[in-house]
Amino acid sequence: MKFTDTLLLSFRTVKSNKLRTGLTVTIIAFGIMALVGIITAIKAMNQKFSESFSSMGANGFTIRFKERNMNFGGGRGGDLAVSKKGKKEKQSNLNKPITREQAEYFIRHYRFPGAVAGISVFGGRSNILSFSDKKTSPNVILLAGDENYLDLNAYKLLYGRNFTAGEVNGGQNLCILGFDVAKSFFGEGMNKGINTTVRINNLPYRVLGILEGKGSTFGFSRDNMVVTGYQNWARNFGNPGTSYVIAVKVAALKQLDAAMGEAESFFRSVRKNGITEASNFAMDKSDSAVQTAMNVLRYIRWAAIVIGIITLLGAAIGLMNIMLVAVSERTKEVGLVKALGGKRGAIKTQFLLEAIIISVLGALLGILLGIIIGNLFSLVLHTGFVVPWDWVVYGIVICTIVGLGAGIYPAIKAGRLNPIEALRYE
């Protein structure tokens, strides 16, 4: 019997047992669906993290008084912190905010070829803006920076202009509105908002510009914000315990490590760190946040793989049982085939092909459902359509192996049947 004839016979047999085939395909499909669906969702999350946290590009870094923590559990650390070198240090050594004077001294004296540096400070998430008879909810983010802040953080102006160095140093009441805030005040005619006066926490500010929209991240708008000069923020809203952030962008990626090394060495002297002391500030590459998030998502991916494998093992056992039942039910058929000259190898191949066909059908259905479910998550995150092509291939290969493994013993059992005994079997 030719292989093509055996393959067609296997297809006909699978097709004739619709209920049994459907149940087995569904079991396998659920395992692959869980695996591919979670992998697709994770890829969408990776894409969103990359868009959200890598705004400075790969050739930038920040200096802050603590390392950035991405804490998904909501817990807090104790009295000890772990440095990058793995040594435990007293938390009090790290709890020394970067002052405005230290940040300004760094900006004035840090000289690296082609580097652009800027100062910024976070002004909280519970600010209220008002214009005429309109008022925002107390959830507007206030950011303060210098004339380089927009460039360093990849913000683009939709209307108006940026701060000048003189305006920042003069501490004037000037601001740049985020897209959502401007739209709530001026509607579609946002360009009319330039040079108007809005109130930030009841203090009047002249609007210099309006930023382009950046969308939202995990349900939180990145456009519900207002930017002012850091000198003005210090005068109107600041407190002595506030820590400032320094951002630096170099001309080329290959210069990044050298620029960071020089910045750390210089800023240690500004912060008066001794030779044997650890740095009481942290340096983050611009993509460090997304790398941290991706490391967390990597654990989730491994959990999804384990869940998928366990489900597929259960499906393989179920498939093996079904194939054994099929051998018992078709004993007389096997005997007839052998009596007509069918060889043991052809019988084995037929049963193996049936198991593989059922398994691959489950894989295809599971992959389709997994991609659909995973991309429902990407719709929520407002990312592009994601197809994990590597796991599409892996899913088919894994299910082929599952079908092969589940079909070997039933195929061997069918091939060993005595044709005379098989013909007498009822």
Q: For the segment 19-69, what is each residue's pLDDT rounded down to a tens digit? A: 777 777 887 787 788 778 888 877 777 776 666 554 555 678 889 887 544
Here the tokens at position 140 are: 């507007």
Would the pLDDT of 15 be above 80?
no
Dump the DSSP string for 351-417.
HHHHHHHHHHHHHHHHHHHHHHHHHHHHHHHT------HHHHHHHHHHHHHHHHHHHHHHHHHHHT-
Look at the pTM and tell me if it is higher than 0.85. no
HSE of 389, CA atoms in CB hemisphere, 13 A: 1
Taking the CB of residue 378, how many other CB atoms lie within 10 A of it? 19
Residue 197: beta bridge partners?
206
Q: What is the pLDDT at residue 83?
A: 42
Angle formed at CA 62 by CA 231 and CA 281, multiple of 5 degrees: 90
3-state SS, residue 37:
helix
The percentage of the chain sitting over the pLDDT mark of 90, rounded to a whole number, equals 28
Nearest to 17 by CA among 311, 333, 386, 373: 333
Q: How confident is the model at residue 181 (pLDDT cuts 50, 70, 90)?
A: very high
Decide: helix, strand or coil at residue 225. strand
For residue range 263-283, list pLDDT tens digits in order.
Answer: 999 999 998 888 888 888 888
Spatial separation of the C-alpha atoms in residues 346 and 340, rounded to whole Å: 12
